Chains A and B, each alone.
Chain A
Amino acid sequence: MKKKVKVLKIDLDKCVGCRACEVICSAFHAAPKYSIASPEFSRIRVFRDELRGTFVPVKGSFYTKAECPSRVLYFQNETPLSDWKREAYVVCSMCGAACPSRDLFKEPGTGLPLKCDMCENDPPLEEPMCVKWCFVDAITHEEFEEEVKEEVEFSELDMAIEALIDRYGWEKVSDAFGRMLFSKMGEEGL
């Protein structure tokens, strides 16, 4: 099956670390639309190390309940950077995972994973908002057709439920869901 796929292209030389992408991403994905702004809710984050002149925008990509095994390998290498910096800037700075080892790509409060949807939900945009807002073209996007295997695509909601299950276990989540369903049915007199 052929499918149109959009990808973000990042030009690290052009990024000035301003976080405009984070601001507009968080606003666009708010409900109602644009009603709030807060980078901590953004699905794209910019790793910034001002004095080294390093700015790396990374989009939220996937959810995982496990910590990345390669972190251990990274920490075995001796570099002049202190450990916290390696953790913050080096090890994780190219990774968009919502994982247990950091608070990035997780919604503050709920802790639910935040994943980039290329602004293709509700209603789909031609151009993702971060691309629109980054008028110096550090973030651009490309579209192409790709052969994809027919498989169930995990939605944002699936990912959120998966995260809940990981946190509370199958039983509690399905209990809660069942309770809510019954009470809803009761309210509506079904």
Chain B
Amino acid sequence: MRYGERGVSLEVDLSTGNIEKVETPLEWTELFLGGLGINAKLMWDRVGPEVEPFSPDNILIFSSGLLVGTPAFGANRTIITSISPQTLYLGFSMSGGHWAAQLKLAGYDRIVVKGRAPHLVYLWINDDKVEIRDARHLKGKSTYETMELIREELRDPRVEILAIGLAGENRVYFASIETYRGSASRLGLGAIMGDKNLKAIAVKGSKPLNIYKPEPFVKECEKIRDYIIYRLNNPIKGVPPILAYIGSPQEMKIYDEQWHLENFAWGHARVRRKGVWTKEIEERFAQAQKSAIKKFVGCYNCPIGCAATLALPGMPSYILKCYSKLTYLMAAMVDDLEFGLRIAARAQHYGVDGFTAPQVMAFAVELYENGILTDQDMPGFPSDPQERFFWLLDRIVRREGIGDVLAKGVYWAAREIGRGAEKFDHNTTKKHEQMTIKLGMLNPIYFLMYATGEKGNITQIEGQIPQAPLPPEYKEEFVRDWPQVPTGKEERFKQFILEWGEGDKVFPFYPPPDLCCELVEWQEIMHYIDDCTGICAGLSSFPIKPPYHIHNLPLLISYATGIEMSEEDLWTAATRVRNLVRAINIRRGLRRDEEKPPEDHWKKRFPEYEQELLTTYYRYRGWNEEGIPTKETLEKLKLDFVAEDFIKRGILKE
């Protein structure tokens, strides 16, 4: 018997209509945990470097995490994996909500989809009953319309659904996969779903999930709950409000947007507007947000309720995700939250990434203003900045006119448009749009994370430590109560908090390269653990001082699954997954020359020192000068099969 997980994948071949239940070895769980880890193993085994994203041979995996469906708070994430049409590397994108838990309760850890259906279909999974159903009547329907129509068709409001909208159907490179409260947005996995003619996956489960050591497991959950309550009532001092709590308060609960509006760049990641957060704008934004919110909404088994159902006059209802309430308005240079909420409504119904889409549209506006795109390319392009964004969005998701090119994201669009458009592609790394920052001094920690991150998205790697030195008066208190630090690193990391910002201990040469590596590793590893367990980053890897950490996560995994796991074992497993993800990308061509943050992220750059940082990090990780995990590293991590493949392909020498 398996505990905490099912040990079963549902394998669906849409070309033939074949559906199978396939057992996964327990050894895989020990080695790769679950979620992203086993997804990566499957991707490595089945999708060679020659497979194109839009090919029936590309697989699309919808996975729950190892702890999803257990009583662990916030263990509810869906981890979706495929080859990204945009980066051509491994694309993995996560979503909160209720879907993954239902999948687990139906008796499956994940669904592996291959092939391409002859026409639009959706999957309906009700415990042991799995059907591929006609979805031609759902063609062109929005994400939320699709979910509502499927619930109606199945006559059951408890069915959970993942769906694509028009953007996914039309293979927009930044199409998302949406669920009611959650959205797997990054890296265009919605386009892969569209390419497979898969409109949605509906699931409902009623099979009880077994826990190996039930009483100790629930005792740990009680401690987690107590800590959540404590943290919600005791914000961390000396950091901006969005970093002071847990969950994702930036989504809907907090009205103070100073952090984002003043620190992140507006337009096409160009202008930083210090002082924009005035009393007047604060009142307007708070008013717009309050009047739009109908109800706060939570993910499965987490009462915090970070998101909210929004209803704006004349717009269909939707549940806003993450900081997309600001991304559109900042990209459009519109100081009006209502515009941000309105366009996000349409965008989520179309199913596009609220992070990339605004940047692509701002890029188009920039090209137009610089005469690279003209009225000939964009007949009828409005002059009002708000209308422009709606105009572009409508065309991108339908792939009409210029929208057909822009649908590929900034990197590919710039090259296709030519005429100097490449020069305006200034904010992508590995062909993917990055955080819109324009800061002064090089940040060596973030430099490494942008350069070497495999996820394409900084917010999916960062966490644990404050993003700037704490004010001196809060430092002592901060380090006094900091149980989250990994064993053996206590003194070092506490020292870092205390001395960072004092005297000459400032960027770019502080923290020194070796300490940067350790801090980056910690941040990364915690995220990789979450991506495997399915615990929400908002309770774990993203916040400072989270309720889940490296000391209690191994316990929870052991109690849930019966697999003995120490802190060190878990760290190693996450490192293994991190290396396997990298190996997939290395096999697809990733090398050192692509590992660089956008050039204008920081005004003051230090090319030589940056290369020293990168080399130090590669060595720290056990990678060679090109960023390729060495044979020794791979073997130590029990990734011998990767080493063998690398040698066979000549990627590594014997």
Q: A residues within 8 Å of B by Cβ?
A: 16-20, 23-24, 26-27, 30, 32-41, 47-55, 82, 84-85, 88-89, 108, 132-136, 138
Contact = CB atoms under 8 A, between A and B. Distances in A.
B323 interface: no
A136 B311 CA distance: 23
B98 A19 contact: yes
Contact of B301 (A18, A50, A52, A84): A18
Given A34-B218, A51-B144, A53-B294, 11 more contacts: A18-B305, A23-B300, A27-B214, A38-B206, A41-B208, A49-B157, A53-B309, A84-B152, A88-B156, A88-B157, A133-B303
A107 to B, nearest CB: 10
22 contacts: A16-B297, A16-B298, A16-B303, A16-B304, A18-B301, A19-B98, A24-B71, A30-B208, A32-B214, A34-B214, A38-B105, A40-B105, A40-B205, A40-B206, A53-B294, A53-B295, A53-B308, A53-B317, A85-B157, A108-B206, A132-B225, A133-B303
Given A19-B98, A88-B156, A51 B180 contact: yes
B69 interface: yes
A82 B152 contact: yes
Nearest to B228: A135
Of A54, A133, A134, most buried by chain B (CB within 10 Å of CB) is A133
A89 B157 contact: yes
Of A26, A55, A135, most buried by chain B (CB within 10 Å of CB) is A135
Given A19-B300, A135-B228, A136-B303, A26 B157 contact: no
A128 B325 CA distance: 38
Contacts of A84: 152, 155
- Please classify the interface of chain A as helix (H, G, I), strand (E, B), loop, or mixed, using the class held by over half of its residues: mixed
Nearest to A26: B208
Of A34, A36, A82, most buried by chain B (CB within 10 Å of CB) is A34
Interface string B299-342: 11111110011010000011100000000000000000000000
Contact of A37 (B69, B222, B225): B69
A53 to B, nearest CB: 3
A143 B299 CA distance: 30
Contact of B295 (A20, A41, A54, A134): A54
B218 A136 contact: no
B229 to A, nearest CB: 5
B481 interface: no
B304 A136 contact: yes
Contact of B303 (A32, A54, A88, A138): A138
A37 B297 contact: no
A60 to B, nearest CB: 15
B110 interface: no
A185 B321 CA distance: 63
Given A27-B214, A35-B210, A50 B309 contact: yes
Of A50, A85, A89, most buried by chain B (CB within 10 Å of CB) is A50
Of A35, A84, A85, most buried by chain B (CB within 10 Å of CB) is A35
Nearest to A50: B180
Of A18, A27, A35, most buried by chain B (CB within 10 Å of CB) is A18
Contact of B105 (A33, A39, A53): A39
Contacts of B206: 38, 40, 108
Nearest to A30: B208
Contacts of A133: 225, 303
A18 B215 contact: no
Interface string B94-105: 000010000001
B317 A51 contact: yes
Contacts of A35: 210-211, 214
Contacts of A17: 297-298
Contacts of B319: 50-51
Interface in B214-250: 214-215, 217-218, 222, 225, 228-229
A34 B361 CA distance: 50
Contacts of B209: 36-38
A38 B98 CA distance: 13
Interface in B165-218: 180-181, 205-211, 214-215, 217-218
B232 to A, nearest CB: 8
B215 A33 contact: yes
B73 interface: yes
A155 to B, nearest CB: 23
Contacts of A49: 157
A135 B71 contact: no
B214 A48 contact: no
